Amino acid sequence: MKSRLLLVAAIVVAVVPSSSAGSATAFKGSITPISPVLARQMTGVSWRPGCPVPLRDLRVVTATHHGFDGRDRTGRLIVHRDVAARVLVVLRRLHADGFPIRRMVPIDAYGGSDFRSIEADNTSAFNCRFVDGTTRYSEHAYGRAIDVNPIENPYVTRSGTTSHVASRPYLRRPPFRPGMAAEGHALVRAFDAIGWGWGGRWSGVRDYQHFSASGR
């Protein structure tokens, strides 16, 4: 019942104009099943037989988001159906807060490569892959994790480095800059509100881009 109520709430807020200053575009959002065309595009790329989640359990969340140039765009995230409504609520809140997202397209546009998607500063969710260096499925393989603005919010190793050159200026977290995840700011507040964990709070390695339902 709670999931149904969240879904109704998400659909309702999706058609309410955003209150963010300077934006002339109302927020629009939707949740749809994976279409046959999209299923063909994903198969062998971000999804394959044997993945822990079948395509029928995934959903496409389409939503308005601010770009770094101040213009509104429409992006898509693929997530598990049981978190889709909450993700739409987060995106609506980020739009209202004026939070910028560089781009937001399914990772299939980058051949399923996490590295290439990060290099493009792409915000993405589902990808049937293992945690780096292991044979354990990532939370992304379940559609219950999202990486937001990965250049501005790098994965930082225990030695304090990152694999992405463009992320190096963001290893130093203060001062706060547009698109960053930080305590008390819009992005972290929005995911806190739906009970998701943030990789920026991990000990040892820090994954500032990573938000997940499980906190892992």
User: Residue 154 is part of which domain span?
Assistant: 2-212
Residues above pLDDT 70, as percent of the chain: 89
Q: Identify whether 175 is preceded by a cis peptide bond (ω within 30 of 0).
A: yes
* Per-residue model confidence as pLDDT tens digits over 26-83: 999 999 999 999 999 999 999 999 999 999 999 999 999 999 999 999 999 999 999 9
Please provide the DSSP assignment of 143-198 as one string: T-EEE-STTTS-EE-TTS--S-GGGGGGSS-PSP-TT---TTSHHHHHHHHTT-EE
Q: At residue 179, does pLDDT exceed 70?
A: yes
Q: At residue 2, does pLDDT exceed 60?
A: no
* Residues 126-165 as b or e (16 or more Cβ within 10 Å = b): bbbbeeeeeeeebbbbbbbbbbbbbbbbbbbeeeeebeee
pTM above 0.85, yes or no: yes
Number of structural domains (the chain) is 1
* Per-residue model confidence as pLDDT tens digits over 187-203: 999 999 999 999 999 99
